[in-house]
Structure 1
Amino acid sequence: MIEKPVIEEILRISDSGYLFHREGQELEFKEQFNFSSLADYFRDFSAFSNNKGGYLVFGVQDSPRIPNGLSANALDQFEKIDPEKITGFLLNIFSGNINWEQAVFKIDNKNFGVFRIYKAQTKPIIAKKDEGKDQIIKNGEIYFRYGGRTQKIQFPELEAIINKRVEQNNNQWLDLMSKIGKAGPENAAILDTEKSVIEKENSKILVVDEKLASQLKFIKEGEFVEKKGATTLKLVGNVTPIDHVEVVKKVKEDLIKQFPFSATQLASEVKKVIPSSSKQDVWRIIRENDLKNNFDYSAYNFRNKQQEDNYKESGIIPSGCPSIYNKNAIEFIANILRIEMK
C-alpha cells in the first residue's frame, strides 16, 4: 500500500520553493505520464527491483523541481492503467517477477501519479527482449538504480546480487538439512511432488516445507477422499508430527574480514581510485544512498554484545555504533563519482 504521508513528505517544498527531496536511489520524478513512454518507466521498474525498490512520482517539473501536478490528459491516462496488462507486459519483457502498485494522490489541489516498485525477492531481473523507442530496453541487459539515475548494472553490484542469490540457495539447503538432521536420516522421507507419493520403508517422520505442508491434505492408502476435487497425496506408512523445527541461521564468522574498512579508510580507498574525490563526497554518497543500512556494502560494528543484543531486540541502532564497509562500497561510490563527473 502506498501511504499518503510518505508521498506528502516526498513532495515537501523547501523555503526556496523547490522540492526538498532530490532524486535518489529510491526516488525518480517525472513531469507527466504518457503511455508512449511505458518502456522508459519499465526500465526504471526493473532498476528499482534490482536494488532496494522505490517510488516513481509523476507531476514534478524538471530543473527546477517544482510539484506542478499532472495535466488533465496525463491524469486521465494514468487512471486508465490496467494493472493486469502492465504486469503482463513486465512478465513478457523481463525475467522474474516485478511487484508494484499505483495510486493517485491529491495534494494542495494538484494530482500526482505514483508507482511504488518493491525490491525483487529473486534477483537479478533481466531484460528478455528489446523494447521501446530506440530500444531503450535491450535483450540481456540488467538495470540498476544508482543515486538518481537508472543505468546498466556495474560489476560490483552484479557480483553482490550473485553472491546473495548463492547465499539464499545455501540457506535453503541448510534449512532442509536441519529438518532432516532433526529427524535423523534413517527416519526422513522424500516427498515426490511430481508423483504425489511419499514412500519409504519404516519412515516415521515426514520432512516438508511449512508453506507446502499447509496446502497438502493426506489420505491413508485404502481410504477415500471425502471432498471431491480436494488436493490429496497417497500416503504409504505413517507420519509422526514434530513439535518444532530448528532453523539454522548462517552467521558471519569474521565480520572484519568481510568488511575491512572504516568510514575514514573507505574515503582513502575511494581517493586512490578517484584522486579528485574528498571525504565530503564519500559521506554524501553514503548518506544519499543509505549505504549504512545496505548490507551488500556495510555492516554494523557493534562495540559489545549488549549493543548487538539491544539492536536485535529493538531494531534500533545504538548511538555511536560505527559502520564498516567492503570493497563493493568502494566500487559503488567510485561509480557514482564517475557518473557525476561526466
Structure 2
Amino acid sequence: MQKQLVVVTGGSGFIAIHIIRQLLQQGYAVRTTVRSLAKAPVIKEMLTNGGITDLSALEIVVADLAHDEHWSEAMAGATYAIDVASPTPKLNFKNKAEMIRPAVDGVRRVLTASRDAGVKRVVLTSAYGAIFAGHKNRTTPYTEADWSDLNWKAIHPYQESKTRAELAAWDFINHEGRGLELTTVNPVAVMGPVLSAKYSHSNIQIQQFLEGQVKAVPNVDSGYVDVRDVASLHLLAMTAPQANGERFLATTGETLSMLDVANVLRQAFPAFASQLPTKTIPNAAVKLAAKARPELRMVASLVGTYAETSNHKAQTLLDWHPRPAAESIIATAQSMIDLGIVTKP
C-alpha cells in the first residue's frame, strides 16, 4: 500500500523538523521544501539525531516562498500540506512591508499550489502573534477567538505579518479554495530539544542564559510550549475531521516570566547557576533603550503586558495534552549541552 504523501514547507526549521520526524515515525511519506539544497545535509543530520534511521520516505526539493516556480511540482501527489515556512523576525528592517509582503505572498503560493494539486487539507503554522497584539487592559486568557488588532499603532511588523498572513489564508479558503480545507496552529514561545548544533537559533534565549550573556531580563511574560507537542498538534489538526476550518492555540496554559525561565534552569542545572540572570530591567528602561536600538522594539512592546492563554479548545476538540513548560525548558537546555552548543562553566 502506498504511503500518503505530506508536503512540509521549510524543512530545516525548528518546528518543521519535529513535524517531519513525527510524520516519518507514523508511516507517512514526506516531501519537504527548502530554499536551497545546501540545507539537505543538516535536515538529514537533525532527523538522524532525532532517532530516524530510515530516510527512504523523505524527499527534499527546492521551492522558495518568494517565487512561483516549483510549487506545483512540490505539491504534486500530496494528500496533505503543512505550511511551516515563514519569514523570521527581522530585527533591522527598512520598512514593515519587508516582513509583511513575503509572509502573505508565501501563504498564497502554498495554498494555490495545494488547491491546484488536489491536496485535501493544509495546516498553516500561524502564531500567537496573530492573536494577542493590541489588546489593552486584558484580564481573561487569550483564545482562538482573538485576533491581533491591526489598527494598534504599536503593533510590531512581525506580529502584523503573522496576522495578515493568516487572514489572507482564511480569505483564500473562503473565496478561492474550491473545497480545500484549512486548519491553523498558533504556538506561543516554542521550546524543546534542538537536534543539531548547526541549527539551534530557535532557542537563542536559553543559550544566552546558560552562557552568562544575560545579566538582567525584561519584564516579559509568555506562554511556552514544547516543539514535540506543537508537532503532534499539527498532525492532529491535519487528520481530525473536526479540525477543519479551526484555529488552535498551542500553549500549555502556563505563563512564565523570563526570570521564571532562568529559575527553572537554575534548579535543573546547578552548575550553571552563577551564569543565570537574577534581576529584572525596569519597563521604562527597556522602552527608552528601544528608541535607539530597533532590535529591542519587539521586546519593548511586550514588557508588562498580560499574556495568559488557554488551550481548552485543543484539549477538548483534539484530545491534545502538552507536557509542562518547565519540562520543555529543561529539554532545550539539555539538548544544547549534549550537542556541545553550550559548555559547562
**What TM-score comes out, normalization by structure 1 length?**
0.26
Query: Is the radius of gyration larger for structure 1 or structure 2?
Result: 1
**What TM-score comes out, normalization by structure 2 length?**
0.26
Q: Which has the higher helix share?
A: 2
Q: Which has the higher contact order (CA 8 A, sep 6+)?
A: 2
